[in-house]
Amino acid sequence: MEIWINPACSKCRSAISLLDAEGAEYTVRRYLEDVPSEDEIRDVLGRLGLEPWDITRTQEAAAKELGLKEWPRDETSRERWISALAEHPKLIQRPIITAEDGTAVVARTDEAVRDAMSR
């Protein structure tokens, strides 16, 4: 299991604390430093069953600068969104846990973290 975190994020710290309390084995990826490639983002989206706009933090300054709220959310725009996430990783919702069964969850709640641990 791997967890993508921003250490400054309280939701990320909470998820790590819960994983530690439960004795879970996991690796940490500080995705702002170890930026995921477009292929890795595509893979995680497939594991999540979501589209790139579903995991985009549209309130971030970079999102506003890019005008993401105005971008189409359709198949023809999908690659543009993925490129934006790879170029501006701060836009990626966090934390994301990739579970051992090949799925992933956006682990913003204790329930989501426990769900990932149970997979």
Backbone angles phi, psi at 27, to 5 degrees: -115, 150
Q: Are 82 and 38 in contact (CB under 8 A)?
A: yes
Contacts of 54 (CB under 8 A, 6+ apart): 48
Give residue 103's identity as a one-letter amino acid code: T
Active site residues: 9
